[in-house]
Structure 1
Amino acid sequence: MIGRVELPSWKLLAEHAKEMKGLHMSALFDEHENRFAEFSIKLAPFLLDYSKNLITTDTMQLLFSLAKDCEVELWRKKMFSGEAINRTEGRAVLHTALRNKTQRTIYVNGEEISKAVQDSLIKMESFSNKVREGHWRGYSGKRITNVVNIGVGGSNLGPQMVTEALKQYSDNSVNVHYVSNVDGTQIANILRPLNPESVLFIVSSKTFTTTETMKNAQTAMKWLTSSSFDAAAIEKHFVAVSANKANATEFGILEENIFDMWDWVGGRFSLWSAIGLPIAIDLGFEKFMELLDGAHEMDKHFCDSPIDENAPIILALLSVWNCTFLGAQSQAILPYDQSLHMFSAYMQQAEMESNGKSVSWYGVPIDYPTVPTIWGELGINGQHAFYQYLHQSNNVVPADFIGSIESVTPIKGHHETLMANFFAQSQALMNGVNEQQVREDLKVKGRTPEYINQVAPHKVHKGNRPTNTILMRRISPRTIGSLIALYEHKIFVQGIILQICSFDQWGVELGKGLANKIEVELRCGKINPTHDSSTKELINYYQTIKNTNL
């Protein structure tokens, strides 16, 4: 059992990082006029520029050696072939099989899965067409005009992010809504203006036991039956995406209206499956398949390209370099395209739920940083919120800038202003401005020496803040598919290099289990005396005030 810190490449990178911390990116650009050409990759869906990182040719060669020492290519082969690389749960990790266009045979536990995937797509196509064309009707014979997707986590965030990103491609024949929060305000606000006779609910839950999802589904069912006065209406207004058909049928959903999920697809990587049914209904099945095509193209690039030309591997290596070796504790995702307003939140879940771990594959505590905190916002909004922190705080935050050459909603002059900020911000974060430059600028503006002495230190920007730039031609189902798959593979490679289990989420389970127990206490009014004093008194205060107001 060899830990990562024992690898020769790891040790060399640790020493190299000490040297690099004394350098400035602006000087590296001055010394190397071909820096952009060396540190960028042009792919069909987008350009990736990673030249604005604190790296040299030597840095990248050491990182490529680390990838080889960690056997990234071997683990990539294991994932795509269906080996159980989710070792803590004994499962394969095969979200890539959901968009496999090569028709290659894939086995999981001795069972060939390609036909099951194809059958699910056929069923999705047939169903989504029926809803969109008005052939699927509610209990009173009215066509479906609104779809409400009920799910949480991966069963909600991925599909919602995609439908928001591709809103301009929807013909609005059906309105799609999302309910994830168990706070009753959300489902109440969504259902209030809708007509129960023309609403279809999609309940997405692998186990069909997820507390938040089932609570919302039960509320939706009561809302429907209080209008129809007939429990049989559930059959016309509810479908499910689940691996637990018994629970779904017991709820009242017909078996033929249950879409398959598989344990070899993690929730946060599941939008390519029937979890993406609301996407297909909103955009049309053809556009859903274009989304899958874009992801498959990235899969091919990831599998076929050498390490030093491989975009997901390079992004993963840079993340490890910036976080584990250079000490950055967070990373910002900064889209400069309104269509991607949910992308930062989606990446929060995808990366932090995957790689926010502190023990190795072998259950041994690790003593190096793993995944950074992922956060972000639309670029222009962020500029007037937290970019001050990005530019001048003592904490260096690497950032990914994501933009488009063409707007999906062209309005004269707007996109040029947007993209001017896009290019300027990453340049400013890299170059900064020193005190001498500040003083000269203020002097040219006619400021007094006293004013210059007072203000100059406050206007200094150290720069040297690393960024990646992803520049797409235009937001489309295909480019969004490629973009998501790019980050999925980046996350996988990160996990391999950091030697952690990326595909479980035990940290999610602990809080949920405790919540289930406390909910029983809240209902019966009896507090468990073994709670710590804080939790016990918080519950007591909650109940006292609540009962007083009744």
Structure 2
Amino acid sequence: MEFRDFSAYAAVGRLAALAKAPHDLTAAAGLTAQRIGAMKASCCGFDLLYATQRVTPEVVDALQELADEAGLVAACAAMQQGAVLNRIEGYASENRQVLHTACRDVFAEPPLVPAATAKARRELDKLRIFLDELADGTVTNAQGQPFTTMVQVGIGGSDLGPRALYLALKAYALPGRAAQFIANVDPDDTAEVLAGLDLSRTLFNVVSKSGSTLETLTNEQLVRARLAQEGLDPARHLMAVTGEGSPMDDPGTYLRSFYMEDYVGGRYSATSMVGLVTLGFALGFEAVMAILQGAHEVDRAALEPDIRANVPLLLALLGIWNHNFLGHATVAVLPYSQALSRFPAHLQQCDMESNGKSVTRHGKAVGWQTGPVVWGEPGTNGQHAFYQLIHQGTEVVPVEFIGFRYSQYGLDLEVAGTSSQQKLIANMLAQSLALALGKRDDNPARCFPGNRPNSVLIADRLTPRTMGALLAIYEHRIAFQGFCWNINSFDQEGVQLGKVLATRLLDLLSGRMVSAESTTPEESMLRQAGIE
């Protein structure tokens, strides 16, 4: 796959010219019923309403030209077919395939990468057998009682995606099953989770691809110590998800082990065993397969060349329009669903760790903006927190709203003629319109400038299948943007320096590294922080 610099595309010049006079949403005919009806794309149960973006049909045509010129769909196809895309030409790099999509290509015959999907099927079979053994009483605690809780011990991609999906789908949890998560190396995080558990009926799922993640191994030792204090055998309560052959791949130490492959990046690993073991325990195997089905459908839909019929590609290009051509530095992802309370946090990692890069795939400094700052919280809570800034602040923040027409639990009633779910969605749509249209007032403090670009992504209900689809929509949006910017979205070199320096500080604290002169920055920082 051959990539070119973003600035080399002819469509970039055309878009830059169009950006000098972007569509005025506040004009008399800036947001008509005809425009709202025309600017709608659909994919795998989701509708994307984007009339409230500052684009015209001419801009969308130019974005299509950019997608075609940059070969974005071809790059997505190459990724799904196993091309080695995790690399920097001419420099040391991970040099790997990028095959999180193979984890959900289990429905296709033949799959795009048979060897990778065969491994995914093998792990799914292992998971199904394990879940069956839990259900029929083959696997119990020492007293013959069923396990009721699984605690996932991991950090980064081994926590954020799985936690977001579990919270999103708690409404579908099996009776008597629950999941919790330990991520932070802060011992108070572990202590708080352990304090609320019946440890005798708890499984701990320790997740680390390398088997050497410092925070995760530290928390595992805290868990092991606590189990021992309670007179419980850790080997009956701890499980592992790790790379085959890693230091954690030890059948005598863990009740069960599941494998993750090095071509599945941590932040893209929620649909691998990294997420599916805990999700399977809490939700059941049928829900796991529904998550994979939804993601798989989007994987295939992402190969549609027409951006007006490809929701993840259109989202990616609208983001590029806002970021590179209109100059907006951040994007807020605002789900109008309490169940998606941690989904923005997952996207922060997935997007910012992927596209927070300043070097091209050819090892040169980029000459254009790459990944934006991604943040967000659920509505309607956010309306009473930070919406003041996005409506009237000096910083224009593009918004991506996510909502559902129906609630998960169906526990609702009418108050003043409308249900709570109707109020929730009405608030979301009202915010979209208010950001776009603004309002004039003789009192300047009550003026809303409008022209705040946003879009609405809406589906019927948040289910395992739609959650899988939503996850994959954003995974592909992120990858499409990285391809367009000519950066490697699949490494994370930026997290390594801090790890190295943390190890050096810990060596100082443990006495393994003593300097003849206490003048190093590390020693000085420890001393001034009062840490000994």
Which bracket does the TM-score occupy, shorter chain normalised? Answer: over 0.9
- Structure 1 residue matching 2:459: 3-state secondary structure: strand
Q: Which AA in structure 2 matches 1:372?
A: P
In structure 2, the residue matched to 1:430 is 436
In structure 2, the residue matched to 1:13 is 15
Q: Assess if the C-alpha contact under 8 Å between 2:43 and 2:310 holds in 1.
A: no
- Structure 1 residue matching 2:26: 3-state secondary structure: helix
In structure 1, the residue matched to 2:472 is 485
Out of 91, 94, 111, the residue aligned to residue 89 of structure 1 is: 94
Distance 1:320 1:306 in 2: 17
CA displacement at 1:416 relative to structure 2: 2.2
Q: Which AA in structure 2 matches 1:237?
A: H
In structure 2, the residue matched to 1:500 is 487
In structure 1, the residue matched to 2:337 is 337
Matches within 5 A, 1:333-372: 333-372=333-372
Q: Deviations over 1:342-389 (max 9, x none)?
A: 111111111111101011111111121111100111111111111000
- Compared with structure 1, are the counterparts of its residues 505 and 29 closer, same or farther at alpha carbon in structure 2 (3 Å cutoff)? farther
In structure 1, the residue matched to 2:204 is 201
Matches within 5 A, 1:8-407: 8-20=10-22, 23-27=23-27, 29-30=29-30, 33-87=33-87, 88-100=93-105, 101-107=107-113, 112-228=115-231, 233-249=233-249, 252-254=252-254, 257-275=256-274, 276-304=276-304, 306-407=306-407
Q: Deviations over 1:468-527 (max 9, x none)?
A: 101110110011111110001101100011111000011111211211111111222967
Q: Assess if the C-alpha contact under 8 Å between 2:518 and 2:524 holds in 1.
A: no
In structure 2, the residue matched to 1:445 is none
Q: Assess if the C-alpha contact under 8 Å between 1:240 and 1:257 holds in 2.
A: yes
- Structure 1 residue matching 2:449: 3-state secondary structure: coil
- Structure 2 residue matching 1:215: 3-state secondary structure: helix
- Compared with structure 1, are the counterparts of its residues 528 and 496 closer, same or farther at alpha carbon in structure 2 (3 Å cutoff)? farther
Q: Assess if the C-alpha contact under 8 Å between 1:199 and 1:237 holds in 2.
A: yes
Distance 2:517 2:318 in 1: 46
- Compared with structure 1, are the counterparts of its residues 249 and 13 closer, same or farther at alpha carbon in structure 2 (3 Å cutoff)? closer
Distance 2:474 2:359 in 1: 23
Q: Which AA in structure 2 matches 1:194?
A: L
- Compared with structure 1, are the counterparts of its residues 460 and 532 closer, same or farther at alpha carbon in structure 2 (3 Å cutoff)? farther
Q: Assess if the C-alpha contact under 8 Å between 2:43 and 2:298 holds in 1.
A: no
After TM superposition, the runs of 4+ consecutive aligned structure 1 residues lying more than 6 A away are: 529-534
- The CA RMSD over aligned residues, in Å, is 2.1
Q: Assess if the C-alpha contact under 8 Å between 1:128 and 1:277 holds in 2.
A: no
CA displacement at 1:251 relative to structure 2: 9.0
Q: Which AA in structure 2 matches 1:15?
A: A
Question: Unpaired segments of 5 or more residues in structure 1?
Answer: 440-455
Q: Assess if the C-alpha contact under 8 Å between 2:4 and 2:486 holds in 1.
A: no
Q: Deviations over 1:262-309 (max 9, x none)?
A: 011111111111112100100011011111111111112112453332
Q: Assess if the C-alpha contact under 8 Å between 1:345 and 1:375 holds in 2.
A: yes
CA displacement at 1:195 relative to structure 2: 3.0
- Structure 1 residue matching 2:457: 3-state secondary structure: strand
Out of 405, 420, 427, the residue aligned to residue 414 of structure 1 is: 420
Q: Assess if the C-alpha contact under 8 Å between 2:39 and 2:50 holds in 1.
A: yes
Q: Assess if the C-alpha contact under 8 Å between 2:182 and 2:190 holds in 1.
A: yes
Q: Assess if the C-alpha contact under 8 Å between 2:31 and 2:52 holds in 1.
A: no
Distance 2:269 2:14 in 1: 38
Q: Assess if the C-alpha contact under 8 Å between 1:527 and 1:536 holds in 2.
A: no
Q: Which AA in structure 1 matches 2:224?
A: M
Distance 1:199 1:319 in 2: 43
Q: Deviations over 1:118-169 (max 9, x none)?
A: 1110111111232344431223433212211101111111111111001111
- Compared with structure 1, are the counterparts of its residues 282 and 182 closer, same or farther at alpha carbon in structure 2 (3 Å cutoff)? same
Q: Which AA in structure 1 matches 2:146?
A: R
- Structure 1 residue matching 2:460: 3-state secondary structure: strand
Q: Which AA in structure 1 matches 2:56?
A: T
Q: Assess if the C-alpha contact under 8 Å between 2:48 and 2:311 holds in 1.
A: yes
CA displacement at 1:217 relative to structure 2: 0.6
Q: Deviations over 1:456-476 (max 9, x none)?
A: 111111100000101110110
Q: Which AA in structure 1 matches 2:444?
A: P
- Structure 2 residue matching 1:382: 3-state secondary structure: helix
- Structure 2 residue matching 1:24: 3-state secondary structure: coil
- Compared with structure 1, are the counterparts of its residues 531 and 400 closer, same or farther at alpha carbon in structure 2 (3 Å cutoff)? farther
Question: Unpaired segments of 5 or more residues in structure 2?
Answer: 88-92, 414-418
- Compared with structure 1, are the counterparts of its residues 175 and 33 closer, same or farther at alpha carbon in structure 2 (3 Å cutoff)? closer
Distance 2:423 2:144 in 1: 50
- Structure 2 residue matching 1:303: 3-state secondary structure: coil
Scaled by the length of structure 1, what TM-score is found? Answer: 0.90
- Structure 2 residue matching 1:48: 3-state secondary structure: strand
Do residues 4 (structure 1) and 1 (structure 2) align?
A: no
CA displacement at 1:3 relative to structure 2: 2.5
- Structure 1 residue matching 2:205: 3-state secondary structure: strand
- Compared with structure 1, are the counterparts of its residues 396 and 533 closer, same or farther at alpha carbon in structure 2 (3 Å cutoff)? farther
Distance 1:54 1:257 in 2: 52
Q: Which AA in structure 1 matches 2:132?
A: N
Q: Deviations over 1:85-106 (max 9, x none)?
A: 1113111111111111113244
Q: Which has the larger helix fraction?
A: 1
CA displacement at 1:220 relative to structure 2: 0.8
Distance 2:228 2:508 in 1: 29
- Structure 2 residue matching 1:331: 3-state secondary structure: strand
Q: Assess if the C-alpha contact under 8 Å between 1:401 and 1:468 holds in 2.
A: yes
The aligned length equals 517
- Compared with structure 1, are the counterparts of its residues 511 and 469 closer, same or farther at alpha carbon in structure 2 (3 Å cutoff)? same
In structure 2, the residue matched to 1:518 is 505
- Compared with structure 1, are the counterparts of its residues 295 and 475 closer, same or farther at alpha carbon in structure 2 (3 Å cutoff)? same
Q: Assess if the C-alpha contact under 8 Å between 2:313 and 2:477 holds in 1.
A: yes
Distance 1:530 1:82 in 2: 52
In structure 2, the residue matched to 1:449 is none
- Compared with structure 1, are the counterparts of its residues 459 and 213 closer, same or farther at alpha carbon in structure 2 (3 Å cutoff)? same
